[in-house]
Amino acid sequence: MMGGRRTGRWLAVLVAGCLLPSPAAARRRHLPARAVTSRARARLPWPRPEVLRLALAAYRCAPPGLFAGSLLTIIDYTLPSTAPRLWVIDVAAQRVLFNELVAHGAGSGGNYAAAFSNEPGSRQSSLGLFRTEDVYEGGHGESLRLAGLEPGVNDRAMEREIVMHGAPYVSRAVAKAHGQLGRSWGCPALERGVDRRVIERIRGGTALFAYYPDPRWLAHSRFLRCDAAARADALAGHADTAAWRDRRPGVPAL
């Protein structure tokens, strides 16, 4: 886990890397197809800095030993369902491993999620910090159980059977045809073909952070008490959601 100064330098490097042209850009057209594909995968976009900062704050506030390895999955529910809004990050290597589409619960909203719940039967997504658990074969194929770590926010995830799984209603084709993805009963559903790769990578005790600027959660989450500055930044920076929701879907606000 990283100290505040190191995290700040990391974020600064990320921002600069997104704004400055790559020295290799002029040579890209001359690279073999395999090299171009490899380079493209290496340049997956990062979450917005304020979301990344908050997720890292929650991740490093967790008690030692709570999470296995250095993987952190982030879901930014402020983005529309048509945008890739799930990231898997290797914190130790400072690298994005996946950036994928993910559906939210039917009770949370249409293209944009706006309502969240911990209650059974709500069919809404939940916010906060989770720990990935075991994998089983269910009605949606390989599925990953999620344990909610925040009382009153997501700690009924197991009872609600909130799991990560693949679904046919999650794809770019569905988004293009309907203007939004299909919706789950509260589960973070992934695109078929991508689901198994993500699940196999993050299973077994890694961290998952689901974000939305809910003032009550931001003010009271015990995983955000260790970094008051990150929490204050989140509360101040997202007081008005309308302004940043008008940005083009999928374009990082870096």
Q: Give which of 40, 45, 115, 41 is closest to 77, Cα–Cα.
A: 115
Q: Give 88-112 pLDDT, tens digit per residue.
A: 999 999 999 999 999 999 999 999 9
Q: What are 252's two structure tokens?
A: 């990082």
Q: What are 226's two structure tokens?
A: 């260790």
CATH superfamily of 46-240: L,D-transpeptidase catalytic domain-like (2.40.440.10)
Distance CA 29, CA 12 (A): 29
Residue 140 or 134, more confident: 134
Distance CA 71, CA 96 (A): 10
pLDDT at residue 235, as a whole number: 54
Q: Give 125-139 pLDDT, tens digit per residue.
A: 999 999 999 999 988
Q: Residues 107, 177: contact at Cβ < 8 Å?
A: no
* Threshold 0.85, pTM exceeds: no
- Written as one letter, the residue type at 148 is G
CB burial of 72-91 (b: ≥16 within 10 Å; e: otherwise) equals bbbbbbbbbbbbbbbbbbeb
pLDDT at residue 37, as a whole number: 36
What phi-psi label fits residue 51: left (phi over 0), alpha (psi between -120 and 50 degrees) or beta? alpha
- Mean pLDDT check: name the lowest of 8-17, 113-122, 164-173, 231-240: 8-17
Q: What are 107's two structure tokens?
A: 């009770």
CB burial of 117-128 (b: ≥16 within 10 Å; e: otherwise) equals bbeeebbbbbbb
| Domain spans in the chain, listed from the N-terminal domain onward | 1-43, 46-240
Question: Residue 173: pLDDT above 90?
Answer: yes
Q: Residues 187, 105: contact at Cβ < 8 Å?
A: yes
Q: Given pLDDT bands bounded at 50, 70 and 90, which one contains residue 84?
A: very high
Q: Give 33-67 pLDDT, tens digit per residue.
A: 333 333 344 589 999 999 999 999 999 999 999 99
